[in-house]
Amino acid sequence: MPMLGDLLAAARNSAGTFLAWLEASEPVLAAQMSGAAVQLGISPGGYARMAVADFSRFASEEDWATLTSSLRDSEDPGTLCLLAMVHWRLTVSGCGAHSHAKQNHDDGGAADGRFPTAQA
pLDDT digit string, tens, across residues 12-47? 666 667 788 888 888 999 999 999 999 999 988 889
- Report whether pLDDT(118) > 70: no
CB 52 within 8 A of CB 11: yes
Cα–Cα distance for residue pair 91/68, rounded to 1 Å: 18
- What do you get for the CA distance between the two ends of the chain, in Å? 15
Does the predicted model carry a pTM greater than 0.85? no
List CB contacts of 57: < 8 A, sequence separation 6 or more: none
Residue among 19, 16, 17, 82 at smallest CA distance from 54: 82
pLDDT of residue 80: 85
- Report whether pLDDT(99) > 80: no
pLDDT of residue 20: 82
CB 116 within 8 A of CB 76: no
Instruction: Choose between 38 and 74: higher pLDDT.
Output: 38
- Report whether pLDDT(100) > 60: no
Rg of the Cα atoms in the chain: 13
Cα–Cα distance for residue pair 26/19, rounded to 1 Å: 10
Mean of per-residue pLDDT scores for the chain: 76
Angle 61-67-71 from CA coordinates, rounded to 5°: 145
| % of the chain exceeding 90 in pLDDT | 32
pLDDT of residue 102: 45
**Mean pLDDT for the stretch of residues 70-79:** 81
pLDDT of residue 105: 39
